[in-house]
Amino acid sequence: MKINHHPDDATILAYAAGAVTEGFSLVLAAHMELCPHCRNRMAEANAVGGELLSELRPVAMSAGGLDNIWSRIEQEPEVAVTQPAVPAAVDGVPGVLTPYLPEGLGSLPWRSLIPGIRQYVLGGVESGRGSVRMLSIAPGTTIPHHTHMGGELTLVIKGAYEDETGRYGSGDLADLDDTVGHQPVVGRDEPCICLIATDDRLRFSGIFSRMLQPLVGI
Amino acid sequence: MLLAVTNLIPESENMAGMAVSEAVDWLTSVAKNRDRQAFEHLYDYFAPRVKSYMMRQGADESSADDLAQETMVQIWRKAHHYDPRKSAVSTWIFRVARNLQIDRLRKHKLHEVELTAEAEHNDDGLGAHERFEKRPDAEKLTALIGTLPEEQMDVVRLAFFEGLSHSEVSYQLSIPIGTVKSRIRLAFDKLRMGMGEKI
């Protein structure tokens, strides 16, 4: 898989700082599972976080701080803390998404949004005023031109689309902020399935599209 | 709130108190030997900094103290997960503190993947100490961070330590969001170049 589009440095930094929504972290983790380049960038951003933590002006701990820690360690049973392993990718779907798509892509309960576009909203993922959803877009479909109030991260899982900023295929991540408007067009050969997180509402630009907004609920 | 920026000026001698290799030895000894003395060295250095971090994320002093204690409890419990080939001790502790902060203060979770890209290619017959070179070199990174222009560091620090989104940083510093992002890009380009990587 040749990945050509990656998250911005500013987005990686916000992710490392923990200043993104859970929804954004899910899309970024899914991309990084597929992208060694961005795993390295994340490791660097975390290292910057560690260095900056070391530079912080220390604030003295309370007098009994260390004793409290020892008694917490002794009182609470020593459970082996294991980090849950991320399941392996199945059928091109990053493993980090598996808990949200237990039956795989094939049997997702898609809901038709507008002709040519079906969606599945991932529930229980903190997203500010936005959302995380899978979209399945029929070949040749054009998504109405829109901008975003906040940010939008789109990870292509299958198929491809093109917009003003280039062609996005499997594994590519489009990182858009509120300064960018776009009108994605899906390739003619196959449907495009992508994972999209927003942290605020979208803003459609045409009158017809704006009328659609309450209906599609994006 | 703008005062916060000036409060973030680092103390230059902080790192002087602890060599990076010492921290690796302490954390490794906590993992292998359940070494209480080594743990207390880590506590002396890191707990007051983690407390400071928690306060910048919006916790009051007593909650920040509690969160710093809990971070240290987790460090004791998870020490065996630390892999010196993958990250510096400060990086690993930062992640533990950050994830606790997200869980307790922001009340959601942060999805992550294992950042094992480097470790997978380590079957090269090098000894353990040579392998340590594979992780981002913490001392080099510290020196490089010191060379970044203040205007870039202000943006990076606000994002890391005030937990601010780019639009909040943009508002607080009264600069456009595009400028916030370009300063972050410039800072990371410079760090990567300094670490000897292709951009």
pLDDT digits (tens, 9 = 90+) for B44-88: 999 999 999 999 999 999 999 999 999 999 999 999 999 988 889
Distance from CA of B172 to the nearest CA of A (A): 15
pLDDT in tens, B139-195: 788 889 889 999 999 999 888 887 777 888 888 899 998 899 999 999 999 998 888
pLDDT at A201: 62
Task: Tell whether B108 lies on the interface with A, counting CB pairs under 8 A.
Answer: yes
pLDDT at A63: 95
pLDDT at B140: 84
pLDDT at A181: 77
Cα–Cα distance, A85 to A73 (Å, whole number)? 25
Closest Cβ–Cβ partner in B72, B116, B163 for A17: B163
More confident residue, B39 or B120: B39
pLDDT at B166: 80
pLDDT band per the 50, 70, 90 thresholds, residue B92: very high
Distance from CA of B127 to the nearest CA of A (A): 22
Q: In which element (H, E) is residue B97 found?
A: helix B89-101
pLDDT at A214: 54
User: Given a cut of 50, is residue A186 above it in pLDDT?
Assistant: yes
For residue B104, give the nearest of B141, B180, B50 by alpha carbon. B50
Instruction: Tell me how many domains chain A contains.
Output: 1
pLDDT band per the 50, 70, 90 thresholds, residue B11: very low
Nearest CA in chain A to B183: A10
For residue A50, give the nearest of A16, A87, A75, A15 by alpha carbon. A16
pLDDT at B121: 39
User: Given a cut of 60, is residue B2 above it in pLDDT?
Assistant: no
Find all residues with CB under 8 Å of A75, minimum gap 6, and list them.
none
Lowest-pLDDT range of A107-121, B67-81, B131-145: B131-145
User: Given a cut of 90, is residue A34 above it in pLDDT?
Assistant: yes
Closest Cβ–Cβ partner in B52, B89, B184 for A56: B52
Amino acid, single-letter form, for residue B71: T
Nearest CA in chain A to B142: A51
pLDDT at A145: 80
Cα–Cα distance, A67 to A80 (Å, whole number)? 22
pLDDT in tens, B14-30: 444 567 788 999 999 99
Averaged pLDDT, A147-160: 88
What residue numbers bound the domain in which A204 lies?
A: 1-218
Topology, domain B136-199: Arc Repressor Mutant, subunit A (1.10.10)
Sheet holding A173-176, edge to edge: A111-114, A117-121, A132-137, A192-198, A152-158, A173-176
Q: In which element (H, E) is residue B21 found?
A: helix B20-33
Closest Cβ–Cβ partner in A19, A43, A179 for B163: A19
Residue A111 has φ and ψ, to the nearest 5°, of -120, 135
pLDDT band per the 50, 70, 90 thresholds, residue A185: very high
pLDDT at B131: 35
Query: If 0-12 CB within 10 Å is exposed, 13-18 middle and 19+ buried, where does residue B63 land?
Result: middle
The 3-state secondary structure of A92-139 reads: CECHHHHHHCCCCCCCCCCEEEECCEEEEECCCCCCCCCCEEEEEECC
Topology, domain B16-135: Rna Polymerase Sigma Factor; Chain: A (1.10.1740)
More confident residue, A210 or B61: B61
pLDDT band per the 50, 70, 90 thresholds, residue A96: very high
One DSSP character per residue, B1-14 reads: -THHHHHTPPPTTG
Closest Cβ–Cβ partner in B112, B135, B184 for A10: B184
C-alpha distances out from residue B65 to A69, B52, B54, B88, Å = 11, 9, 8, 24
Most confidently predicted of A71-75, B11-15, B16-20 = A71-75
ipTM of the complex model: 0.86
Lowest-pLDDT range of A41-50, B17-26, B98-107, B166-175: B17-26
- Would you state the structure tokens that stand for residue A130, as one six-digit string? 């936005």
User: Given a cut of 60, is residue B123 above it in pLDDT?
Assistant: no
Lowest-pLDDT range of A44-48, A134-138, A205-209, B107-111: A205-209
- Would you state the structure tokens that stand for residue B2, as one six-digit string? 């703008």
Residue B88 has φ and ψ, to the nearest 5°, of -70, 160
Task: Tell whether B72 lies on the interface with A, counting CB pairs under 8 A.
Answer: yes
pLDDT at B161: 82
Percent of chain A with pLDDT over 90: 60
* 3-state SS class at B118: coil
C-alpha distances out from residue B52 to A66, B8, B38, B104, B161, Å = 16, 10, 22, 16, 9
Lowest-pLDDT range of A20-24, A54-58, B125-129: B125-129
One DSSP character per residue, A147-174 reads: EESS-EEEEEEES-EEETTEEE-TT-EE
* DSSP secondary structure code for residue B102 in this structure: I
- In chain B, domain spans: 16-135, 136-199
For residue B72, give the nearest of B108, B100, B111 by alpha carbon. B100
User: Given a cut of 60, is residue A217 above it in pLDDT?
Assistant: no
Lowest-pLDDT range of A1-5, A101-105, B108-112: A101-105
β-sheet bridge partners, residue A89: none
For residue A13, give the nearest of B101, B180, B58, B49 by alpha carbon. B180
Nearest CA in chain A to B50: A53
Q: What is chain A's alpha carbon radius of gyration, rounded to the nearest angstrom?
A: 20
- Would you state the structure tokens that stand for residue A144, as one six-digit string? 């109405």
- Would you state the structure tokens that stand for residue B159, as one six-digit string? 């994002």
CATH of the domain at A144: 2.60.120.10
